[in-house]
Amino acid sequence: MDMRLRLYFDQFGQIAIPVPPPAEQDQIVAYLRAQDTQIARFIKVKRDLIKLLTEQKLRIIDHAVTRGLAPSVRLKPSGIKWLGNVPEHWEVKPLKRWVRLNTSTLGEKTNPDFEFRYVDIGSVQTGRLAKELERIRFESAPSRARRVLRRGDTIISTVRTYLKAIWYVSEDADDLIASTGFAVLTPGTSVEPEYLGYVIQSSAFVNRVVANSIGIAYPAIAETVLGRFPVALPSTVDEQQAIVAHIKTESAPLDDAIARTEQEIKLIREYRDRLIADVVTGQVDVRGWQPGPDDVMDDAALGVLGDAQEDVTEEEDSDGED
């Protein structure tokens, strides 16, 4: 069909598949499960490494956006207990005084054929996209696919806030639409957009968001509450840009290591897909294979084969906006 792929059951049911004897089917299942065990362990090690590298990067960000670059800078009390002391020449204002919230939204009369890349909560981890964005048409999109994104915006999840889903939009794009489970922060003229992105990722800000979220299973925070949080920023855009340059220089090796590790996970997944195809079509003969002592793993441990945030479903990505 135009604009979408569809396979009806009558055609699907005509597809021929090879079926080995039951004993060989059992052997294939055991073999593939053993390979999944090894792959799951590999992915877990790589994810643990990404977590460690991300924590190291956040330490760089935390220091830079709370103390600046001058080691001898004089500090002043911010007047906010959780914010603590800040450089003397920095300004402390509520977030809503630094940014505009949710400036553009798709209306119900949007062209049903408008195609866009959808940013849901499962697509975002702290500071980066977790996976390639899905392209969908407005007609078939979830009702929460409404927030229009532009370069320079920062998005932060207001639902399931413990996921710390935050992303700075660094690309030119006229086809990025985010879930209403995000707040979209568009900086004013006195704010360097990328600097704002780092501030929103900082531990002090994120911890405040999580602490003020309401709910147990799916904690959420109202955007009005988010907008009242005090934020300390350098008084000049030049200083903000200098801090951004410093963070990017210091974290570049970490970013490179994270990208390489993510690529390794992608390649091992591709290898797994190819292996499954080869084994179940008889291209690889596993009839003589015997499991080893390291080939046993329970279903919970094998869950690592999924995406890091695949448990965030469309139903859970909701803040009751409808």
Q: How confident is the model over 228-255, as pLDDT tens digits?
A: 999 999 999 999 999 999 999 999 999 9
Percent of the chain clearing pLDDT 90 (strictly above): 74
Question: How long, in residues, is the chain?
Answer: 322
pLDDT reading at 262 higher than 60? yes
pTM: 0.83
Residue 156 is encoded by which pair of tokens? 């932060």
Please give the average per-residue pLDDT across 295-304, as a whole number.
73
| The residue to which tokens 């975002």 are assigned | 124
- Rounded to whole angstroms, the Cα distance separating 61 from 250 reads 9
**Are the C-beta atoms of residues 228 and 92 closer than 8 Å to each other?**
no
Say how far apart CA 116 and CA 3 lie, in whole Å.
13
CA-wise closest residue to 130 among 54, 56, 215, 186? 54
What confidence tens digit (pLDDT) does each residue in 154-171 have?
999 999 999 999 999 998
Give the pLDDT confidence score for residue 216 in this predicted structure: 85
Q: What are phi and psi of 301, to 5 degrees?
A: -65, -35
CA distance 84 to 70: 18
**Measured between alpha carbons, how far is 65 from 196 in angstroms, rounded to an integer?**
9
Q: pLDDT at residue 312 above 60? A: no
Check whether 314 has a pLDDT greater than 70: no
Q: Identify the pLDDT of residue 318.
A: 45
Nearest to 89 by CA among 191, 239, 216, 301: 239
Burial zone of 292 (CB within 10 Å; 0-12 exposed, 13-18 middle, 19+ buried): exposed
- Give the containing element (helix H, strand E) for 124: strand 124-125
1 pLDDT more than 70: no
Cβ proximity of 251 and 62 under 8 Å: no
Distance CA 226, CA 209 (A): 7
Q: Catalogue the long-range contacts made by 256-260 (C-beta closer than 8 Å, 24 or more residues apart).
A: 257/49, 257/53, 258/50, 258/53, 258/54, 258/57, 258/128
How large is the average pLDDT for residues 207-223? Answer: 92
CA distances from 112 to 102, 136, 174 (A): 22, 10, 16
Q: For the chain, what are the domain ranges?
A: 75-237
Predicted confidence at residue 299, as pLDDT, reads 74
Q: What is the pLDDT of residue 79?
A: 86
186, 100 contact by CB (below 8 A): yes
297 vs 39: CA distance, rounded Å: 11
CATH class of 75-237: alpha beta
Burial of 56 (0-12, 13-18, 19+ CB in 10 A): middle
Cβ neighbours of 90 (radius 10 Å): 19
DSSP assigned state of 217: S
